Amino acid sequence: MIELRTPAEIEQMRPAGRFVAEVLTTLRDQTKVGTNLLDIDRHAHEMIRAAGAQSCYIDYHPSFGASPFGKVICTSVNDAVLHGLPHDYVLRDGDLVSLDFAVSIDGWVADSAVSFVVGTPRDEDLRLIDTTQRALAAAIAAATTDHRIGDISAAIAGVSHAGGYAINTDFGGHGVGHVMHGDPHIPNDGKPGRGYPLRPGLVIAIEPWLLATTDELVTDPDGWTLRSVDGSRGSHSEHTIAITAEGPIVLTDRSFLGVD
Under the rule (CB under 5 A), what is the footprint of Mg ion?
A: 100, 111, 113, 238
Q: How far is the CB of 100 from Mg ion (least distance, A)?
A: 4
Query: Which lies closer to Mg ion via its Cβ, residue 56 or residue 230?
Result: 56
Query: Which lies closer to Mg ion via its Cβ, residue 41 or residue 238?
Result: 238
Strand partners, 111: 102
Q: How far is the CB of 193 from Mg ion (least distance, A)?
A: 27
Q: How far is the CB of 135 from Mg ion (least distance, A)?
A: 15
State the Cα–Cα distance between residues 126 and 169, nearest whole angstrom: 23
Query: Which lies closer to Mg ion via its Cβ, residue 15 or residue 94?
Result: 15
Query: Which lies closer to Mg ion via its Cβ, residue 147 or residue 174?
Result: 174
Question: Cα separations (Å) of 25 from 9, 56, 222?
Answer: 25, 19, 27
Element at 54 (helix H, strand E): strand 54-55
Contact 234, 218 (CB under 8 A): no
* End-to-end CA gap in the chain: 33
Other Cβ atoms within 10 Å of 91 Cβ, number: 23
Query: Which lies closer to Mg ion via its Cβ, residue 54 or residue 145?
Result: 54
Q: Which one-letter DSSP state was computed for residue 229? A: T
Other Cβ atoms within 10 Å of 182 Cβ, number: 18
State the Cα–Cα distance between residues 135 and 117, nearest whole angstrom: 19
Other Cβ atoms within 10 Å of 163 Cβ, number: 15
The three-state (H, E, C) secondary structure of 24-42, written as one string: HHHHHHHCCCCCEHHHHHH
Sign of the torsion formed by the C-alpha atoms of 165, 169, 171 and 177: positive
